[in-house]
Amino acid sequence: MIHDTSDPTQPPDQPAPDAPPQEPSARNLRGQDLDPASITAEEDEEARLPEPVDDSAEIASEGTLAIGRAAIERAVKLAPTSAGVYRMLNAANDVLYVGKAKSVKKRLASYARPTGQVARIARMIAMTANVEMVSTATETEALLLEANLIKQLRPRFNVQLRDDKSFPYILITGDHWAPQIVKHRGAQTRPGRYFGPFASVGAVNRTITALQRAFLVRSCSDSFFESRTRPCLLYQIKRCSGPCTGEIDFPGYTELVREANEFLSGRSRLVKQELAGEMEKASQELEFETAALYRDRLAALSAIQSQQGINPRTVEEADVFAIHQEGGYSCVEVFFFRTGQNWGNRAYFPRADKSIDAGEVLGSFLAQFYDDKPPPKLILLSHRVDDQELLAEALSVKAGHKIEVSAPQRGEKKELVAHALTNAREALGRKLADTATQTRLLEGLSTALGLPRVPKRIEVYDNSHIQGTNAVGAMIVAGPEGFLKNQYRKFNIKSEGLAPGDDYGMMREVLERRFKRLINDAAEGKKPSDDAVPQWPDLVIIDGGQGQLNAAREIFTGLNLTDVSLIAVAKGPDRDAGRETLFMPGRPSIKLEPRDPVLYFIQRLRDEAHRFVIGSHRKLRKKDIREAGLQEIPGIGPSRKRALLHHFGTLKEIERASVADLGKVPGVSAESARKIFDFFHPGNG
């Protein structure tokens, strides 16, 4: 999908919904327009396999079924006969199920029938204590609202899309005379042309690198561009044409940008023909260096297309969805085709009851998937889904143009779906194997450490600093599905009384803040956003020795935490991996065999915590260094520092700015501008 937000005249220079009432209500729901939060997990670890939903042990008795039917019958009396969305709630006002219907009254009446319900629906009815409804103008609007609410509320009996991460795009900016090519994720507010989505950041980075070689478009920031007095390294290695220092004129650079836009817009054959013609012309005129430049650009374009793998001949713009089910799990593989090119694929593992068939899972998945993403003109499916025509209509309304949804039976489109289905089958097989391996490691860890139960949630803590400065603590989380990166947290150390480098004090602060928050949330009845992940850890691992363990025990004792296992992992002599010592409260320290898989597992957990905390520390230190040059200016506090850096980009640009330029920064008065200028230019008053 391509979005153009550029100015055609370029100059050459999440609150949660309100708690539902106790009686059935037809009032409008609040919060349905909230955007789900983006997950910041890395691309290669993003797909987490949920536990299969199987409530077969919860048999609905006739007594509980009768109570649930009675609650639904009360709701039927108040239900509208028009289209709308309904929410089934239990006695604690937790949302069990969100559904839509052409007639809410008829749909709810079907739940109140004494017979004919499958086991899953019977369990849901038995748990229902209240129903809340909202009318919509059309069934199409009801479908869109249903998908939005499912993503926000994550009801137990709905199919749940478990990855809300936004997709990366390529942006060719439109707010500068020399457009820049950059990776973009998030709201598309900056003027320019957006190309995507791409399945992963890696695919975007590879494409941008090849595009730089092919079209020599700059990737540097505007502030870096304006500060150049000679070409940078990218110009020297032929990945930029050097517009910053006039190595190429404005018309020449504009032509390069036009070619890049043409290529990303799907007219790659035309662009390659033009470059081939220019290469032939230069060769005939004996300008061999120029011909070699065109040759290299053509090679870069060929590299882009070869990296994209299968490229369709007859499909210009489409998303391809294929679902495979096995062992109570579902995997949905999505391929993105834009401008006749394959822009990558991604696997999802939605949470769904074992009894829900592939078509129903895929239909619910699609509505949630496009809740916050623009749909392409064509959506190809491996299975026909319920309400397929309604889904196409809803997406067409959302996109503002016609959307086709189909399950092809022949031709190239069928081949694309078959290819996606093969990938879905293989992805689910790999995930099941990884999950089985992780389960065995957790069981081995429980046995080796003598834990009371196999841990479902492990939290690992570490901290980092340089002689006490920029101190930061970090927590990583692991479970049966591997590392849960959307659960990671960092803690900027706030205690002012800590001695520089007091690792024990830092660990005490991090643990106290973490577990006080858990205790407060439990007291207020708050639940985790992801009900498949336990809120409380079964095991806490501390990077350190007996001293760190004692600091952690002090906090646990003070908070009366008795059901969380605790160990500290001390590095071996000379920090030698494989010779770690494990410390546990009230027990002798132990060492595992160097080749023990459980020891490797513990090392992976510790190393991941170390990687995460070091990355957080470096970001904090980089920010501190960047602002250091402004620290000593009287009257310039944190807000003005941020405004100055946001406006000029670098400290060097602030130093070069005139008093008039400084005065244009929001929040900087004429007096403050003079102080800043005088600080950097003493004696020039």
Assess whether 467 and 609 both reside in one domain. yes
- Tell me, yes or no, whether 65 lies in a domain: yes
- Tell me, yes or no, whether 451 lies in a domain: no
pLDDT band at 43 (very low <50, low <70, confident <90, very high): very low
Q: Structural domain tally of the chain?
A: 5
pLDDT digits (tens, 9 = 90+) for 88-128: 999 888 899 999 999 999 999 998 888 777 888 888 999 99
pLDDT band at 8 (very low <50, low <70, confident <90, very high): very low
The label of the residue with tokens 């709905």 reads 158
The pLDDT value recorded for residue 382 is 93
- Tell me, yes or no, whether 480 lies in a domain: yes
The pLDDT value recorded for residue 41 is 34
Assess whether 561 and 608 both reside in one domain. yes
- Tell me, yes or no, whether 57 lies in a domain: yes
pLDDT digits (tens, 9 = 90+) for 55-92: 444 555 555 788 888 999 999 988 999 999 999 999 88
The pLDDT value recorded for residue 276 is 75
Up-side HSE of residue 496: CA atoms within 13 Å toward CB?
0
Task: Give residue 524's Cα distance to chain centre.
Answer: 28
- Tell me, yes or no, whether 452 lies in a domain: no
Assess whether 616 and 633 both reside in one domain. no
Assess whether 471 and 374 both reside in one domain. no
333 - beta bridge partners? 322, 347
pLDDT band at 132 (very low <50, low <70, confident <90, very high): very high
Burial 188-215 (b: 16+ CB within 10 A, else e): eeebbbbbbbbbbeebbebbbebbbbbb
Q: Which is higher by pLDDT, 631 or 277?
A: 277
- d(Cα 552, Cα 564) in Å, to the nearest integer? 11
Range of the domain at 219: 169-265+267-307
For residue 636, the domain's CATH number is 1.10.150.20
Assess whether 464 and 598 both reside in one domain. yes
pLDDT band at 340 (very low <50, low <70, confident <90, very high): confident
**CB-based contact 72:112 (threshold 8 Å):** yes
Assess whether 254 and 399 both reside in one domain. no
In one-letter notation, the amino acid at residue 355 is S
For residue 610, the domain's CATH number is 3.30.420.340
- Tell me, yes or no, whether 246 lies in a domain: yes
For residue 60, the domain's CATH number is 3.40.1440.10
E strand or H helix at 278, and its extent?
helix 268-284
Assess whether 476 and 566 both reside in one domain. yes
Domain termination residue (choose one: 88, 121, 153): 153
Assess whether 465 and 340 both reside in one domain. no
Assess whether 656 and 590 both reside in one domain. no
Give the alpha-carbon dihedral of 281, 283, 289, 293, to 10 degrees: 60
- d(Cα 293, Cα 299) in Å, to the nearest integer? 10
Q: What percent of the chain clears pLDDT 90, i.e. is strictly above it?
A: 18
Please state the rounded mean pLDDT for residues 186-209.
Answer: 82
The mean-pLDDT minimum among 299-308, 310-319, 362-371, 666-675 falls in 299-308
Assess whether 301 and 378 both reside in one domain. no
Assess whether 322 and 423 both reside in one domain. yes
Please state the rounded mean pLDDT for residues 151-178.
Answer: 84
- d(Cα 583, Cα 569) in Å, to the nearest integer? 7
The pLDDT value recorded for residue 424 is 92
Assess whether 589 and 647 both reside in one domain. no
**CB-based contact 377:318 (threshold 8 Å):** yes
The contacts of residue 273 (CB under 8 Å, 6+ apart) are none
